[in-house]
Structure 1
Amino acid sequence: MDTKLTLKLNQEVIEQAKKYAAKRKMSLSRIIEAYLQSLVSDKKQDTLEISAFVKSISTGTQIPSDIDAKEGYRSFLNEKYT
């Protein structure tokens, strides 16, 4: 059952989140629901990968829009095991 939820967020964050959702052809509600589900779920969420941008919403950390998370992780592993 879907229930309406009202949130108060920074306008800039809302605008960025809407652009993020539009690029992925998803609703902002769906993205927020998936993120909240990942916080409260004991199981690993396999249906939706939470991006650095979405994670940054909860922490308030500014993540550059051009960041390549996979490359960053690849570099981290390379440094760790080299």
Structure 2
Amino acid sequence: MNKKLTLLLDETVINQAKSYAERHKETLSGMVEKYFKYLTAKNPNKTKVGIPQEIEELVGIIKIPGSLDIKKEYRRHRANKALHE
């Protein structure tokens, strides 16, 4: 049984969605229904990207001090790189 659902969306989003639906020969209702089904599926077919074993083995081999200021180090690296270009 189909029921009516009213949504309040930004006009630009609606227009973009209408254009998309038209290009893909779909209806907005069909698109929304598919999206809701996807969101609420118990076992959605999501592709998990695994970490290659070679990379997994590298985890933890470098010890980084907790006091390291990553942003400061990055700026230092960029300045150093600019000097050598």
TM-score, normalised via structure 1 length:
0.53
Counterparts of 2:30 and 2:43, CA distance in 1: 18
Q: C-alpha displacement at 1:30, in angstroms?
A: 0.1
CA RMSD of aligned residues (A): 2.4
Counterparts of 2:12 and 2:25, CA distance in 1: 20
Paired position in structure 1 for 2:19: 19
Count of residue pairs brought into register by the alignment: 50
Consecutive aligned runs of 4 or more in structure 1 exceeding 6 Å deviation: none
Q: Is 1:4 paired with 2:4? A: yes
Counterparts of 2:3 and 2:43, CA distance in 1: 23
Deviations 1:19-72 (A, max 9, x none): 000000000100001001111111336xxxxxxxxxxxxxxxxxxxxxxxxxxx
Paired position in structure 2 for 1:37: 37
Specify which structure has the higher proportion of helix. Answer: 1
Gaps of 5+ in 2: 46-51, 53-85
Counterparts of 1:26 and 1:11, CA distance in 2: 19
